[in-house]
Amino acid sequence: MQFVIDGLQKRFDKKEVLRGASFAFDFDKIYGLLGRNGAGKTTLFNCVNRDIRLDGGDFFFLGEDGSRRELKPQDVGYVLSTPTVPEFLTAREFLKFFLEINEGRITDPRTPDEYFARMRIAAEDRDRLMKDFSHGMKNKMQMLVNLIAEPTLFLLDEPLTSLDVVVSEEMKALLRQEKAGRVTILSTHLLDLALDLCDEIVLLKDGVLEPVDKSNLDEADFKEKILSALSEGESADA
């Protein structure tokens, strides 16, 4: 099964951000969506999440038998670069509320403390107001509720960029553990992060998607080739 992006187009006034972007993403893999700041990575995610309207193209799931299925809202999990959590609630209150409203769609429900332990959220933090959480802690909560919802397509917009080393490694380990049964696409402008975490790398450059062959990792000039490709041309504001 694949998640297919077919000829996506998006323009803001006179600026064309996506210019017929196409790619087929295989299930059970983490893809690094690599591009310069402003290349259009967030725009691509917002189009797929239907937060903004496309100007052209389509996206869908493609079965092994060639059948197409449209994405439903519950198919998509979206972790934003800036965490959005209800800061007036404690972590436990937020998690219990999320579990209650999604009771019918969670296939293997656990207790809140089991979920907290899975995300390595310390006992002393579970009953704190989230307004007092660090950026990394808010990011953990955002990641947790998305994983509980078991999305078929998991979009992560620069989720690890501002985390400390320990939390970043925890999140990478969790993503590797949870990649089965879904397509995970992580956008980043950090080449080393993409090479470390992702099974495949896709460049977003000049509004189109281009695959990168990771079999060339041993070449001395591999990184330089990618960096050169990213630095060519003019980036879009998106």
Q: Which of 190, 135, 207, 191 is nearest to 164 (CA)?
A: 135
Report yes or no: 208 and 200 within 8 Å, Cβ to Cβ. no
Cβ neighbors of 32 (< 8 A, separation 6 or more) are 186, 188, 193, 194, 195, 197, 198, 200, 201, 202
Structure confidence at residue 217 (pLDDT):
55
Q: Is residue 35 part of a domain?
A: yes
CA distance 58 to 80: 22
Does residue 132 register a pLDDT over 80?
A: yes
Residue 127 lies in a domain: yes
Using the structure block, give the residue that is written with the tokens 């998106």.
238
Whether 178 maps to a domain, the answer reads yes
Q: CA nearest 150: which of 112, 119, 109, 106?
A: 106
pLDDT value for 90: 97
Confidence at residue 188, expressed as pLDDT on a 0 to 100 scale: 85
Which pLDDT value is given to residue 234? Answer: 45
The tally of CA atoms less than 13 A away on the side-chain side of residue 133 is: 29
Q: What's the pLDDT tens digit per position in 74-130?
A: 999 999 888 889 999 999 999 999 999 988 888 888 999 999 998 889 999 999 999
Residue 236 domain-assigned (yes or no):
no
Angle of helix 165-177 versus helix 135-148 axis, rounded to 10: 10
**238 within some domain:** no
pLDDT value of residue 159: 78
Domain-embedded: residue 39:
yes
- Residue 70: CATH number of its domain: 3.40.50.300
**Which pTM does this prediction carry?**
0.88
Strand 208-212, strand 200-205: pairing: antiparallel
Residue 45 within a domain: yes
CA distance 190 to 34: 7
Residue 192 pLDDT > 50 = yes
- Specify the pLDDT at position 112: 94
pLDDT at 88: 95
- If one counts the domains in the chain, the total is 1
pLDDT at position 162 is 64
Position 57 in a domain: yes
Tell me, what DSSP letter sits at residue 72?
P
Residue-range definition of the domain harbouring residue 114:
2-231
Helix (H, G, I), strand (E, B) or coil at 15: strand
